[in-house]
């Protein structure tokens, strides 16, 4: 018999194999390919362009990898313990800092995009000297800005040494608004080169003032992407009025992305009708002039936080003067369209929009929503928030009009749209929608009865006898439907169960004390491809009695077989941190209630915000929470947005696949002179040594 040779992937020419490995973007998949043989390892190392360094910063000098010379995007922001300056990580001597700088430059000679955590200006100066060829940089600092440093000193060395810098991202960098303009004024040539500047940081106490924004845009006339937090309240000095609003596109004539957001979210107060107490500090004429200057705009976010009345006139100008506009987000805009008969006006004339977000539009009704669906026929993403007059009938008609294009819908805090109504409204696109956000507000039985009969928003009501008759009929129907109805594609209320085949992301808001269990009855029982879920829990635990159920119901998410990533945000849940009055629960018991059952999920990544007690400024992971999370053995990444104690963190050593653990709090690590027992630099180092030790933990890969 002839000797037949087998052809394998190793027989491919190196050029083709290199192209194949270059296409792979998933980090773990690339790591697996590098373990096949030496040839694949060399190709993978030379084709990798994105790299994130993890571990303890004190080992950076000695364990710096040298095989990723073609990396262009480098992330040093997750080296812990956070806040330790790079130039003092290895040693306090100047020679060690210079040596580390040369090592970084030789190990990553092609880096043009860098993310780095910087607590002191010396860290940024060190980075700018190590990577003078940077083009894009993102600075991260959760710690409070040191009071002793000179105004603007965080950015002086960066603007001086990196001559090719064209993008700066400060969205996660805590600084003062007074720091940015002086640095740009000191180096105007650097400002002239900037194309992208992100100053939208919600951690700031107040937004940038009008004169500061005009100074920044005057020094940076070539900006194409500008994002900034500001103030629109005329009661404060430095608010954005007509002159400042028109001056922004006047200084930067080629803007394509512009975000102007009022970051004073805590001060927003609305009346029963949904209007804010104050009007914005600019006029409709100023808004028209502002829109007229944005001829090249593609993405516009204007979240004002104050009333903008009669905005339909300005929005018509936006639709006619900005033909490239694709993404639009409006906050507190009222009368966005008039919806008179079949005539299109206002925002409905922005025909080329692909993404639209409407927040706090007090007078928005179903007819306006339907007009938007008729006019903006290319929408792929739609978000509506705090619009109290929209009903299920209007949203469902809107979705039907856009059923060929719409793939993402977010509904939040709309008074007449609870969870069941929202799911029924988007039911026409259940087979194509990929991202969905709803409020888990469970309607009462009477509201469900009205919704089934299609009587929401039509101006008349049901008699009590009709409601009771429908209620009896429904109960008899429920009693006659058994377990077999699920096999036939029917739910327990007699209606057909929809399969959300393409749904990959689900976002939920739920009030404290409520359960996740009714999520199945709301119509979301069958989501075979759901991979990520965000759950935000808000409310005051101090006003709630002890729940009668044993858990929040997080174990009910086991029905989603591909669920691997979850964000559980209890940061706005307020309670008693230490002691609670008789009959009430403290935060540790509430955390036990929230997390009970998480061991049944096969999560790969978990982001967790512990509840807090604002009176003592404490947001810390409790002992029950640490014990329950440690039982989720499939976890690989764990991010805790708060602080905790070292002996609680040691619970996580027993998770076999855990590789990446971070505490993300604005006071982590705790100062050495702090009297608390929370994590310090030394305790963090001890934990990471045990987490990464091959002698203590048998790490599979």
Instruction: Note the pLDDT tens digit of each residue in 603-662.
Output: 999 999 999 887 776 678 999 999 999 999 999 999 998 888 889 999 999 998 898 888
pLDDT of residue 313: 94
Q: Say yes or no: 354 and 429 in one domain.
A: no
Domain boundary among 389, 410, 445: 389
Q: What is the pLDDT of residues 334-376, one digit of tens each?
A: 999 988 888 899 999 999 999 999 999 989 999 999 999 999 9
CA angle 365, 371, 373 (to 5 degrees): 105
Whether 661 maps to a domain, the answer reads no
* The two three-digit tokens of residue 409, written as one number: 């819908």
Model confidence at 471: pLDDT above 70: no
**Could you check whether the bond before residue 669 is cis, i.e. omega within 30 degrees of 0?**
yes
CB 367 within 8 A of CB 339: yes
Concatenated DSSP letters of 79-110:
-BSTT--GGGTS-SSHHHHHHHHHHHHHH-TT
pLDDT at site 93: 59
464 burial (CB, 10 Å; 0-12 / 13-18 / 19+) is exposed
Question: Are 340 and 203 within one domain?
Answer: yes
Q: Please, what is the Cα angle at 119 between 115 and 121, to 5 degrees? A: 90
Q: Which pLDDT band, with edges at 50, 70 and 90, does 164 fall under?
A: very high
The reply to whether 303 falls in a domain is: yes
pLDDT of residue 405: 96
For the record, the structure tokens of 539 come out as 């409310």
pLDDT, average across residues 43-61? 84
CATH number, domain of 324, equals 3.80.10.10
Residues 6+ apart with CB under 8 A from 19: none
Q: pLDDT (tens digit, 9 = 90+) per residue, 520-566?
A: 888 898 999 999 999 999 999 988 888 888 899 999 999 999 999 99
Give yes or no for residue 234 having a pLDDT over 90. Answer: no
What's the DSSP call for residue 289?
H
Residue 235 lies in a domain: yes
Q: What is the end-to-end Cα distance of the chain in Å, rounded?
A: 43
pLDDT at 446: 40
Residue 400: the pLDDT is: 96
Pull the structure tokens for residue 543: 């006003």
Q: What residues contact residue 691 under an 8 Å CB cut-off, 6+ apart?
A: 652, 653, 658, 659, 661, 697
Residue 675's pLDDT is 63
Mean pLDDT, range 472-486, rounded to an integer? 37
For residue 120, the tally of other CB atoms under 10 A from its CB is 21
- Of 132-136, 400-404, 441-445, the range with the lowest mean pLDDT is 441-445
pLDDT at residue 459, as a whole number: 34
Q: Per residue in 613-625, pLDDT tens? A: 877 766 789 999 9
Compute CA 152 distance to the chain's CA centroid, rounded to the nearest angstrom: 28
Backbone φ, ψ for residue 197 (5° rounding): -140, 115
Last residue of a domain, one of 530, 551, 581: 530
Distance CA 8, CA 117 (A): 45
The pLDDT > 90 percentage for the chain reads 51
Please state the pTM of the whole predicted model. 0.87
Confirm whether 628 is domain-assigned: no
Q: What pLDDT does 5 receive? A: 64
Total structural domains within the chain: 2
Q: Look at residue 266 and tell me if it is in a domain.
A: yes
pLDDT(463) > 70: no
Q: Cα-flanking dihedrals φ and ψ of residue 81, to 5°?
A: -70, 140
161-188 average pLDDT score: 93
Domain around 338: 195-389
Chain segment 65-75, per-residue pLDDT in tens: 888 999 999 99
451 shares a domain with 366: no
In terms of domains, do 300 and 358 share one? yes
Residue 488's pLDDT band (cuts 50, 70, 90): very low
């Amino acid at each position: 018999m002839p000797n037949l040779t087998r052809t394998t992937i190793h027989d491919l020419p190196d050029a083709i194999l290199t192209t194949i490995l270059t296409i792979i973007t998933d980090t773990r998949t690339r790591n697996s390919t590098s373990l096949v043989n030496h040839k694949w390892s060399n190709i993978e190392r030379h084709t990798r362009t994105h790299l994130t360094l993890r571990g303890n910063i004190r080992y950076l000098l000695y364990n710096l990898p040298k095989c990723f010379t073609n990396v262009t995007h480098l992330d040093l922001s997750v080296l812990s313990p956070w806040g330790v300056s790079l130039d003092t990580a290895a040693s306090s001597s100047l020679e060690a800092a210079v040596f580390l700088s040369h090592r970084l430059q030789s190990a990553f000679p092609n880096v043009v995009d860098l993310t780095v955590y910087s607590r002191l200006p010396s860290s940024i100066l060190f980075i700018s000297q190590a990577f003078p060829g940077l083009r894009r940089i993102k600075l991260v600092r959760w710690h409070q800005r040191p009071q002793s440093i000179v105004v603007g000193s965080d950015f002086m060395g960066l603007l001086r040494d990196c001559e090719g810098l064209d993008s700066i991202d400060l969205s996660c960098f805590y600084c003062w608004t007074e720091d940015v303009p002086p640095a740009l004024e000191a180096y105007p040539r650097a400002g002239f080169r900037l194309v992208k500047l992100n100053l939208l940081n919600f951690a700031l106490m107040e937004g940038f003032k009008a004169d500061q924004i005009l100074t920044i845009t005057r020094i940076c006339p070539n900006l194409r992407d500008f994002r900034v937090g500001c103030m629109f309240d005329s009661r404060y000095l430095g608010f954005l009025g007509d002159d400042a609003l028109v001056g922004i596109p006047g200084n930067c004539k080629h803007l394509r992305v512009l975000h102007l957001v009022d970051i004073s979210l805590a001060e927003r107060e609305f009346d029963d009708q949904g209007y804010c107490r104050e009007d914005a500090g600019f006029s409709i004429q100023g808004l028209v002039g502002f829109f007229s200057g944005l001829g090249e705009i593609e993405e516009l976010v204007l979240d004002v936080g104050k009333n903008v009345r009669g905005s339909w006139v300005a929005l018509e100008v936006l639709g006619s003067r900005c033909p490239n506009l694709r993404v639009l987000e409006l906050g507190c805009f009222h009368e966005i369209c008039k919806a008179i008969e079949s005539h299109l006006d206002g925002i409905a004339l922005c025909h080329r929009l692909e993404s639209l977000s409407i927040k706090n539009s007090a007078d928005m009704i179903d007819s306006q929503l339907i007009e938007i669906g008729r006019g903006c026929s290319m929408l792929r993403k739609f978000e509506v928030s705090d619009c109290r007059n929209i009903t299920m009938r209007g949203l469902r008609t809107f979705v039907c009009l856009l059923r060929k294009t719409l793939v993402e819908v977010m509904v939040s805090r709309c008074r007449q749209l609870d969870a069941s109504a929202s799911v029924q409204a988007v039911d026409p696109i259940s087979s194509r929608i990929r991202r969905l956000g709803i409020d888990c507000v469970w309607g009462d039985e009477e509201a469900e009865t009205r919704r089934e009969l299609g009587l929401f928003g039509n101006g008349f009501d049901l008699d009590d006898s009709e409601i009771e008759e429908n209620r009896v009929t429904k109960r008899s129907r429920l009693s006659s439907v058994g377990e077999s109805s699920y096999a036939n594609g029917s739910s327990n209320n007699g209606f057909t169960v929809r399969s959300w085949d393409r749904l990959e992301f689900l976002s939920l808001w739920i009030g404290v004390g409520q359960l996740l269990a009714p999520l199945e009855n709301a119509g979301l029982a069958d989501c075979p491809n759901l991979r990520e879920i965000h759950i935000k829990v808000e409310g005051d635990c101090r006003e709630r009695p002890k729940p009668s159920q044993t858990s929040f119901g997080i174990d009910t998410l086991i029905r989603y077989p591909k669920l691997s990533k979850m964000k559980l945000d209890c940061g706005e849940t307020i309670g008693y941190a230490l002691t609670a009055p008789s009959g009430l629960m403290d935060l540790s018991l509430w955390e036990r209630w929230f997390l009970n059952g998480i061991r049944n999920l096969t999560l790969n990544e978990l982001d967790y915000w512990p509840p807090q007690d604002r009176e003592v400024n404490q947001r810390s992971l409790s002992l029950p929470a640490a014990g329950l999370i440690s039982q989720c053995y499939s976890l690989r990444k764990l991010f805790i947005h708060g602080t905790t104690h070292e002996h609680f963190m040691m619970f996580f050593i027993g998770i076999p696949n855990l590789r990446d653990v971070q505490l993300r709090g604005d006071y982590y690590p705790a100062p050495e002179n702090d009297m608390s027992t929370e994590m310090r630099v030394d305790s963090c180092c001890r934990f990471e040594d045990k987490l990464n030790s091959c002698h203590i933990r048998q790490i599979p890969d």
